[in-house]
Amino acid sequence: VRVCGRGEPYLRRDGAASLGVLRGASLVVGLDGCIKAVGQADVIRNQFSEATFERIIDCSGKCVLPGLVDAHTHPVWAGDRVHEFAMKLAGASYMEIHQAGGGIHFTVEHTRKATEEELFSTFKHRLERMLRAGSTLVECKSGYGLNWETELKMLRVIERAKQSMDIGISSTYCGAHSVPKGKTATEATDDIINNHLPKLKELKLSGEIHVNNIDVFCEKGVFDLESTRRILQAGKDIGLQINFHGDELHPMKSAELGAELGARAISHLEEVSDEGIGAMARAKCAAVLLPTTAYMLRLKQPQARKMLEEGVIVALGSDFNPNAYCFSMPMVMHLACVNMKMSMNEALAAATINAAYALGKSDTHGSLEVGKQGDLLVINASRWEHLIYQFGGHDALINYVIVKGKVIYQNERCETMSSY
Tens of pLDDT along 100-155? 778 888 999 999 999 999 999 999 999 999 999 999 999 999 999 999 999 999 99
In a domain? residue 2: no
Helix H, strand E, coil C: the string for the chain is CECCCCCCCCCCHHHHCCCECCCCEEEEECCCCEEEEEEEHHHHHHHCCCCCCCCCCCCCCCEEEECEEECCECCCCCCCCHHHHHHHHCCCCHHHHHHCCCCHHHHHHHHHHCCHHHHHHHHHHHHHHHHHCCEEEEEEECCCCCCHHHHHHHHHHHHHHHHHCCCEEEEEEEEECCCCCCCCHHHHHHHHHHHHHHHHHHHHHHCCCCCCEEEEEECCCCECHHHHHHHHHHHHHCCCEEEEEECCCCCCCHHHHHHHHCCCEEEECCCCCHHHHHHHHHHCCEEEECHHHHHHHCCCCCCHHHHHHHCCCEEECCCEECCECCCCHHHHHHHHHHHHCCCHHHHHHHCCHHHHHHCCCCCCCCCCCCCCECCEEEECCCCCCHHHHCCCCHHHHEEEEEECCEEEEECCHHHHCCCC
What is the predicted pLDDT for the residue at 83?
86
Distance from C-alpha of 328 to C-alpha of 134, rounded to nearest angstrom:
8
What is the predicted pLDDT for the residue at 38?
95
What is the predicted pLDDT for the residue at 313?
98
Distance from C-alpha of 274 to C-alpha of 256, rounded to nearest angstrom:
10
Distance from C-alpha of 62 to C-alpha of 302, rounded to nearest angstrom:
33
| Closest residue by Cα to residue 355 from 365, 370, 345 | 365
In a domain? residue 8: no
What is the predicted pLDDT for the residue at 359?
98
Q: Is 270:260 a contact under the CB 8 Å cutoff? A: no
The residue with greater pLDDT, 253 or 83, is 253
In a domain? residue 181: no
What is the predicted pLDDT for the residue at 369?
95
- For the segment 395-415, the average pLDDT, to the nearest whole number, is 94
The residue with greater pLDDT, 95 or 282, is 282
The number of C-alpha atoms within 13 Å of 397 and in the hemisphere containing its C-beta is 23
In a domain? residue 296: no
Q: Count Cβ atoms within 10 A of the Cβ of residue 205 and give its class: 0-12 exposed, 13-18 middle, 19 or more buried.
A: exposed
Strand ranges of the sheet holding 398-403, from the earlier edge strand across to the other edge: 63-66, 376-379, 398-403, 406-410
- Condensed to tens digits (0 to 9), the pLDDT of residues 166-185 reads 999 999 999 999 999 999 99
What is the predicted pLDDT for the residue at 417?
67
In a domain? residue 283: no
- Here the CATH number for the domain that contains residue 402 is 2.30.40.10
Q: What is the span of the domain harbouring residue 371?
A: 13-66+367-410
Q: pLDDT > 70: what percent of the chain?
A: 99
Is 415's pLDDT higher than 80? no
| Closest residue by Cα to residue 223 from 262, 172, 189, 274 | 189
Is 202's pLDDT higher than 90? yes
What is the predicted pLDDT for the residue at 13?
87
- For the segment 11-24, the average pLDDT, to the nearest whole number, is 85
Is 419's pLDDT higher than 80? no
pLDDT band of residue 19 (cuts 50, 70, 90) is confident
Mean pLDDT of all residues belonging to the chain: 95
Q: Is 14:314 a contact under the CB 8 Å cutoff? A: no
In a domain? residue 166: no
In a domain? residue 404: yes
Widest distance between CA atoms in the chain: 69
Q: What angle do CA 366, 139, 277 make, to 5 degrees?
A: 75
What is the predicted pLDDT for the residue at 349?
97
pLDDT band of residue 420 (cuts 50, 70, 90) is low
- Condensed to tens digits (0 to 9), the pLDDT of residues 51-79 reads 999 999 999 999 999 999 999 999 999 99
In a domain? residue 124: no
What is the predicted pLDDT for the residue at 340?
97
Is 242's pLDDT higher than 90? yes
- For the segment 293-317, the average pLDDT, to the nearest whole number, is 95
What is the predicted pLDDT for the residue at 30?
97
Least confident of 16-20, 29-33, 104-108, 414-418: 414-418
What is the predicted pLDDT for the residue at 67?
98
Domain count, the chain: 1
Distance from C-alpha of 169 to C-alpha of 106, rounded to nearest angstrom:
26
